[in-house]
Amino acid sequence: MKISVLVSGGGSNLQSVIDHIKSGFLDQAIIVQVISSSADAYALERAKNEGIPGIAVTRQQWPEEEKRNEEILRLLTEAGTDLIVLAGYMSILSPELISAYSDRIINIHPSLIPRHCGKGYYGKRVHRSVLESGDLKSGATVHYVDEGIDTGRIILQETVPVEPGDTEDSLAARVLAVEHKILPRAVKLFCEEYLKGK
């Protein structure tokens, strides 16, 4: 099963999927390309180190969102993508792209959706929102991407405790460790279902 991974930053979630393919846990999957919204994302370096084609499709190159999404859709189609994984991807996908890959786009979000998600809740803001809310737990969610923001059907979730004295960074690190666990598991669940239907 061919996966295209969309990234914007450090790519630690990308690395986790790569590592789970190499370990044989994801033995039915191959990452055919990494598409980054940022030309200097370390995730592109990780792809290069693994011999995976990495492409930047940025606002600078493609200022018009529609044209940028058309380019991404072209790359996805050309590579024969079966599953799109958003791994720290910080750009919005067009409705056209989402409907072209309906129920074949998954995203990792660093909170227990439907709490602390939606427009404006990205990066550290998510963890700040959890700390400000007084929630005693947080966690990570892998969900399908639909036209909304962080509103698609949930595939997997795992909780972490919020500890006294937690900062955004300490909570983010605890959540990130769980992200790295549940994203490969969600890809495997998708793989099994998808290949059953093939």
**Cα separations (Å) of 81 from 30, 75, 138, 142, 170?**
10, 9, 32, 19, 36
Q: Is 109 a catalytic residue?
A: yes
Q: Scanning residues 108 to 127, which ones bind ligand GRF (CB under 6 A)?
A: 108, 110
Element (H or E) spanning 9, and its range?
Answer: none
Q: State the minimum distance, in angstroms, from the CB of residue 124 to ligand GRF.
A: 9
Per-position DSSP letters for 37-85, written without gaps between them: SSTT-HHHHHHHHTT--EEE--TTT--SHHHHHHHHHHHHHHTT-SEEE
Amino acid letter, residue 93: L
Does residue 54 touch ligand GRF according to CB under 6 A? no
Q: Which residue among 20, 109, 116, 180 is the active-site one?
A: 109
Contact string (CB under 6 A) for ligand GRF, positions 150-189, x = contact = --------------------------x--x----------
Decide if 108 contacts 27 (C-beta within 8 A).
no
Q: Kindly tell me which of 14 and 155 has the beta carbon lying closer to ligand GRF.
A: 14
Which x/- pattern over 1-40 shows residues binding ligand GRF (rule: CB under 6 A)?
A: ------x-xxxxxx--------------------------
Strand order in the sheet with 2-7: 54-56, 30-36, 2-7, 83-86, 105-109, 137-144, 154-161
- First and final C-alpha spacing in the chain: 10
Q: How far is the CB of 89 from ligand GRF (least distance, A)?
A: 7
Q: 40 vs 192, which CB is nearer to ligand GRF?
A: 40
Using CB under 6 A as the binding rule, whether residue 138 contacts ligand GRF is answered as no
User: Which residues contribute to the site for ligand GRF (CB under 6 A)?
Assistant: 7, 9-14, 43, 87-88, 108, 110, 176, 179
What residues are annotated to the active site? 109
